[in-house]
Structure 1
Amino acid sequence: MGNGPSKTLPTSNVQNPINLAGQNSLSLLGTPFAPIFPPFLKNNPLPNGFPWGSLTSQNANPYQQMPDTGVTRSYAWTLTKQTAAPDGVDVPLILVNGQYPGPVIEANWGDWIEVTVSNNMTTQPAAIHWHGLLQKQTPWMDGVPGVDQCPIASGSAFTYRFRADLYGTSWYHSHVESQWASGGFGPMVIHGPDEQTAYDVDVGPVMANEYYHEWWEDVLAGFLAKDPVVTRSDNNLINGKNSYLGNNAPLASFNFTSGKTMRLRFINPSASAVEKISIDGHTMTVIANDFVPLKPYDTTVVTLAPGQRTDVLVKGAGDPKSAVWLRAFKPPNCSLSKANSTLALAAIFYEGADRTAAPTSQAQPDAYDTYCGNDPLSKTVPMYPIAPGDPSVTEVLPIQLLSNGTADIWYEAGRTMVVDYNDPILLDVKQGQLSFDPIRNVHDYGTNKSLRFVFENPGQQPHPIHLHGHNMFILQEGACTAAQVGSSGNDQSGAIHKSSRHRRDAVVEPRNLWPDWLWPFVPGGSSGGSGSSSSNGSGSGSGKSSTPATTKGHCWDGSIVNPQNPQRRDVQMLLPGHYIVVQWNQDNPGVWPLHCHIAWHASAGFVWMVLENPAAIQKDMSIPNVVAQTCPNWDKWTAVDVVPQIGSGIKN
């Protein structure tokens, strides 16, 4: 999974006349019947003419200020497992109210959102995560089974209630194993201030994702077999639509108006694929990454790792009779794909175009670029400046893929993770339990004000790193090679210190557990060096660890891009052979997964559980009884129906 150039460009086999999705589609997104999105929902109180009053993206810190609209947006969903054919091939899918992708959640910044989820799948558990929302007032509504709640049992329902505490574009998805690779996801549009980026038409969500014809459990079981069976994705979709190997299945379409500026909300809900999105003959102006408004900049291609979102503005400069392609390309070097499966097309029609004919436009020169990383950090500058400051704790996490005797699983700093669906961690902490089995991989950071993590990836696979409950400062990224280790400005003595692990409520150096296979990359290390034992993960100070002489790790030179206002987002791509440095403020007590957003990796243990301020959880948190009630419902169902937990039990 390197980043070399593609030798063969994808080609289109779309027929003419074009077959476009209509009202009989599994989702109206990407059809002429798609909802029209206003600048904001107007059934709110409107102080100063807006639901958010005088707050703007430039004068309000979104992590400390939020409008109180007093409005609740209510939704009722039914999850079913059904045979469906988004690309013309019958497969089993998880549908939300019969839709793939699921219905749009739409709200204003500061609204409450209430979603009642009824699980009508006869053999599948359910839990829904609201990706990117902070859940500051409601950490028990984050939707991670075994962490915040027990799964929603078949035949049961659960009502999530949480604030739209950030604004912009995001999505929701199943958080049961890798379940969402087979559906159970959809977009979220949270309207908020965007006064610095005026536009005329909000086209709405454009979801681009790779697509499997095999059921998610079969794919995951293959990856986790003792002799792994690697399943490559079969197709690429835009808003749940594309043809397959020339079968002329319906495509998505969008409307542009000449002379107008359109807003498009790009979302990548892929299980593993990087998506490169472009519009033939058009420049896009980036205005937000994830839930963070940015100082605008221009590009001709948007790169999204799994879980990421980017909002763009596009000027309708085309002839009123023209039509062009919107392209979503998944570079085969960034994810495992079958031949002829890398390109999804959607037609963009200007107001006078012939909607029966396929566009004949040509791809942008960089439409099929195969670089798997995000745009340079120097380009992605938040509108509201926040300086990260110095961290209270720094952790260095080298990543490795090793066999545990039955499967190849992921380790961070020598640790892997499996949750217990019957015993949610947050509910345990509320009852005073702070010591957990090492396999739960829970790390107590106490009342430390801020945490910094240096991820080091000497392997050959990319990892989009995602944190729940926070936006991360993205401080730096770069190559992590043996040559750099010797000249990076880190400790040159080669000393590797072994010391008792400190409590996490003190300022500590990182637990850097370099396993044997990484020792050639460690200053002064050699193959065959001694690995370190892992701690118990509870913050008790009872474990031993291997600690380097600096807190920079073995690749990072300590530099920070735009140190007074670095990029913030909730997912950042970590490339093969690279490192990234992230930091966040501990201002949200809870249990927050920090993990790879590739479904198959998270299900194979790539999750680090951040326990934040357990004293506040025990003293101040009032968890509703309905959250705990998910557990007896789950116990009752699983006493009769055995539900296999293939991997870690949690995904993105």
Structure 2
Amino acid sequence: MAISLSHFPITLALLLAFGSIVAEAANGTVTYDFNITWVRANPDLAFERPTIGINGQWPLPIMYAEVGDQVIVNVDNQLGNQTTSLHFHGLFQNGTTAMDGPSQVSQCGIPPGSKMTYNFTITQPGTYWYHSHDKGQYPDGLRAPLIISDPDFPYKDQVDEEFVLSVSDWYHDQMQTLIPQFINKANPTGAEPVPQAALLNDTQNLTVAVQPGKTYLFRMVNIGAFAGQYIWFEGHNMTIVEVDGVYTDGAEADRIYLGAAQRCSVMITTKNETTANYAFVASMDTTLFDVIPDDLNWNSTGWLVYDSNKPNPDPTILEDDQFNEFDDFTLIPVDKFPLLPEPDQTVTLDVVMDVLGNGKPYAFFGDISYTAQKVPTLYTVMSTGQDAMNPLVYGDYSHPFVLEKDQVVEIVVNNHDGDADSGKHPFHLHGHNFQAIARSGEEAGDFDNTNSSQTDYPAVPMRRDTFVLYPDGYIVLRFKADNPGVWLFHCHIEWHVDQGLIATMVEAPLEIQKTQTIPQDHIDICKAGGIPYAGNAAANTVNLLDLSGANQAPKPLPAGFTARGIVAMTFSCIAALLGLATISWYGLADMGAASKLEEERRIARMNGESEGVVSENSGSEINTKVG
């Protein structure tokens, strides 16, 4: 199956054509009516499965808006069996933290049969995406690009046309089947489920019609759950001009890497002749996988089609050492925004993957595995008065950090994942982008702020909202807390979100109370779902410092246990059980034989026969059974 991809200018007609229901697109207002339901899809032509669609369709519509627009998204949850939510990934939600979307953080999950409206103003241009932020749900299909156009785009005079290109991994099983199998005593090492396929624009064998001698802007988005993706265009160079909504000085690249949730816009100038068509490839980063199934094709291929009458060639097989992906740390923002000053607050987070006392694998920042609280954290902010400045009210297991307005905050992440092969983590901050001021290579150990070689920060750091941490290394991120709200910081590998690799930034909570409100329809969905919407993390509205009953992660293992130890203990227990079963079987065999012997003796006595003869014969039978 080949699907032609046309360019996507921002017009009402094309918005309608791509399935978005636009009720109004005038006076800077764009309205989407999204009826979220189950549909069926088979994007890899290998397995048809239930998939989450919008307005009865999948793939989902690409959302479009312009800087300054008011966007209204009316959501009607008709899934029937699951709550849901929408997060508009990368949008700052300035002044509208209630519209950010993570369930039990900035809202309650929308129950089946309920409706809720997201209403916010676009303040930034660039390439983004929207997805569910509830129940690990977006790999089931609830995700698509979101494009914000900008009349002041610095490269607009060089671009003839635009294309939107999503890359993703795809699973045949639903998340509500996979998650319990993954976080399970039978998987103590925490091996993540490996996807069944790679997709381009939610399909395979994608074709893009191009014309000679033109420059195209490709807006690329990794909407996958797990796999980072290498992307390259055969016979064409790429010029990077944007990452995660931040315009950059043009940077030439022959291959780029997009971690889960990252975006990158590149310009490609086509050749002047139409003598051939050219393959482009998205290749999943298989180093993330604990095992590679024999039937997995980790590449997805598309074609730049100059002439539809000519064949689409097979892609050239390339080894990893034939070219390297571009290092995004070296990018320079167009605005040349300088390095922020020394931090007012430093948050150090050590990534750990381990097993808790229930024998299941979890993810931790330090010793805390995030657990959603009884009251959405934003609602705790709005209902605790001056105590909102006290991190205790948010519950230990939301892993909260209270930030003061306009502080410079530094986040240091050290990777103690323990897996030198598959320990990459794409970390994402809601409500902000950040300056990426340091990143080590693999196996560099922890960050040391007294080491001058590690603190030689660039004068103009690159910025983005999702940044990849390498195995056994570190990253250092810096941002200004100038956007009051409740914002998550988490790894964007969905399996690690499900395991608890999340922290909560509660930014200027008293300012939130003064300047923001929770819409009534948001409160109504909490009521419909039976979720408390006031008080501390434990829903206590009387004694805000009493956290009795707050949700917690399972208790830790006794000291000395490790995931490897759990595996050994599991197999030891299995061996012991098998041994006990064998002993019991033999014991029952002995008892049966002894009972038979006694019965033969009784019969012999009755018949006046010699017991010795019977004993000798029967003893031989017992010995045969035992031997």
TM-score normalised according to structure 1 size: 0.73
Q: Following TM superposition, by how much is the alpha carbon of 1:96 offset from its aligned partner in structure 2, in angstroms?
A: 2.0
Q: Following TM superposition, by how much is the alpha carbon of 1:202 offset from its aligned partner in structure 2, in angstroms?
A: 3.0
Distance in 1, matches of 2:486 and 2:115, equals 23
The aligned counterpart of 2:217 is 263
Question: 309, 319, 327: which is aligned to 1:354?
Answer: 309
Structure 1 residues 109 and 41, CA gap change in structure 2 (3 angstroms): farther
Question: SS state of the match for residue 444, structure 1?
Answer: strand
The aligned counterpart of 2:476 is 581
Whether contact under 8 Å (1:41, 1:107) holds in the other structure is no
Question: 492, 503, 516: which is aligned to 1:597?
Answer: 492
Question: 173, 177, 187: which is aligned to 2:145?
Answer: 187
Question: SS state of the match for residue 464, structure 1?
Answer: strand
The aligned counterpart of 1:48 is none
The aligned counterpart of 1:519 is none
The aligned counterpart of 2:370 is 417
Alignment of 1:224-243 (within 5 A): 224-228=183-187, 230-242=192-204
Question: SS state of the match for residue 177, structure 2?
Answer: helix
The aligned counterpart of 1:438 is 396
Whether contact under 8 Å (1:281, 1:363) holds in the other structure is no
1:157 is the counterpart of 2:153: no
Distance in 2, matches of 1:608 and 1:628, equals 24
Q: Following TM superposition, by how much is the alpha carbon of 1:42 offset from its aligned partner in structure 2, in angstroms?
A: 12
The aligned counterpart of 1:386 is 338
The aligned counterpart of 1:315 is 269
What is the identity, as a one-letter code, of the residue corresponding to 2:28?
Answer: V
> Which has the larger Rg?
2
The aligned counterpart of 2:458 is 562
The aligned counterpart of 2:9 is 37
In the alignment, structure 2 segments of 5+ residues that lack a partner are 15-25, 533-550, 554-627
What is the identity, as a one-letter code, of the residue corresponding to 1:400?
Answer: V
Whether contact under 8 Å (2:301, 2:315) holds in the other structure is no
Distance in 2, matches of 1:631 and 1:112, equals 25
Distance in 2, matches of 1:128 and 1:556, equals 43
Alignment of 1:101-500 (within 5 A): 101-192=59-150, 193-196=152-155, 198-228=157-187, 230-242=192-204, 251-317=205-271, 319-335=273-289, 337-339=292-294, 340-350=296-306, 352-354=307-309, 357-360=311-314, 362=316, 375-406=327-358, 407-420=360-373, 423-432=375-384, 434=388, 435-447=393-405, 449-459=407-417, 460=419, 461-479=423-441, 481=443, 490=448
Question: SS state of the match for residue 170, structure 1?
Answer: strand
**1:467-486 deviation per Cα after TM superposition (whole angstroms, max 9, x unaligned):** 0000111000004747x66x
What is the identity, as a one-letter code, of the residue corresponding to 1:599?
Answer: E
Structure 1 residues 173 and 306, CA gap change in structure 2 (3 angstroms): same
Whether contact under 8 Å (2:489, 2:504) holds in the other structure is yes
Distance in 1, matches of 2:39 and 2:321, equals 35
Q: Following TM superposition, by how much is the alpha carbon of 1:394 offset from its aligned partner in structure 2, in angstroms?
A: 1.0
Q: Following TM superposition, by how much is the alpha carbon of 1:424 offset from its aligned partner in structure 2, in angstroms?
A: 1.1
Q: Following TM superposition, by how much is the alpha carbon of 1:318 offset from its aligned partner in structure 2, in angstroms?
A: 5.3
Whether contact under 8 Å (2:415, 2:471) holds in the other structure is yes
Distance in 1, matches of 2:211 and 2:378, equals 50
Distance in 2, matches of 1:556 and 1:87, equals 50
In the alignment, structure 1 segments of 5+ residues that lack a partner are 1-18, 22-30, 44-68, 243-250, 491-551, 638-645
Whether contact under 8 Å (2:159, 2:267) holds in the other structure is no
Structure 1 residues 265 and 427, CA gap change in structure 2 (3 angstroms): same
Q: Indicate the structure with greater helix content.
A: 2
Distance in 1, matches of 2:136 and 2:452, equals 32
Question: SS state of the match for residue 165, structure 2?
Answer: strand
Structure 1 residues 97 and 196, CA gap change in structure 2 (3 angstroms): same
Structure 1 residues 636 and 560, CA gap change in structure 2 (3 angstroms): closer
Distance in 1, matches of 2:508 and 2:52, equals 36
Question: SS state of the match for residue 158, structure 2?
Answer: coil
Distance in 1, matches of 2:213 and 2:107, equals 50
Distance in 1, matches of 2:324 and 2:300, equals 16
Distance in 2, matches of 1:620 and 1:119, equals 29
TM-score normalised according to structure 2 size: 0.76
Whether contact under 8 Å (1:473, 1:566) holds in the other structure is yes
Distance in 1, matches of 2:265 and 2:247, equals 9
Distance in 2, matches of 1:365 and 1:419, equals 43
1:625 is the counterpart of 2:584: no
CA RMSD of aligned residues (A): 2.7
Distance in 1, matches of 2:333 and 2:75, equals 37
Q: Following TM superposition, by how much is the alpha carbon of 1:353 offset from its aligned partner in structure 2, in angstroms?
A: 3.5
Distance in 1, matches of 2:277 and 2:552, equals 46
**1:487-516 deviation per Cα after TM superposition (whole angstroms, max 9, x unaligned):** x8x4xxxxxxxxxxxxxxxxxxxxxxxxxx
Q: Following TM superposition, by how much is the alpha carbon of 1:258 offset from its aligned partner in structure 2, in angstroms?
A: 0.3
**1:225-252 deviation per Cα after TM superposition (whole angstroms, max 9, x unaligned):** 012174211010000112xxxxxxxx22
Whether contact under 8 Å (1:79, 1:97) holds in the other structure is yes
What is the identity, as a one-letter code, of the residue corresponding to 2:472?
Answer: G
What is the identity, as a one-letter code, of the residue corresponding to 1:419?
Answer: A
Higher RCO, 1 vs 2 (CA within 8 Å, ≥6 residues apart): 1
**1:193-241 deviation per Cα after TM superposition (whole angstroms, max 9, x unaligned):** 2234533433321000111111112221122001217421101000011
Q: Following TM superposition, by how much is the alpha carbon of 1:440 offset from its aligned partner in structure 2, in angstroms?
A: 2.1
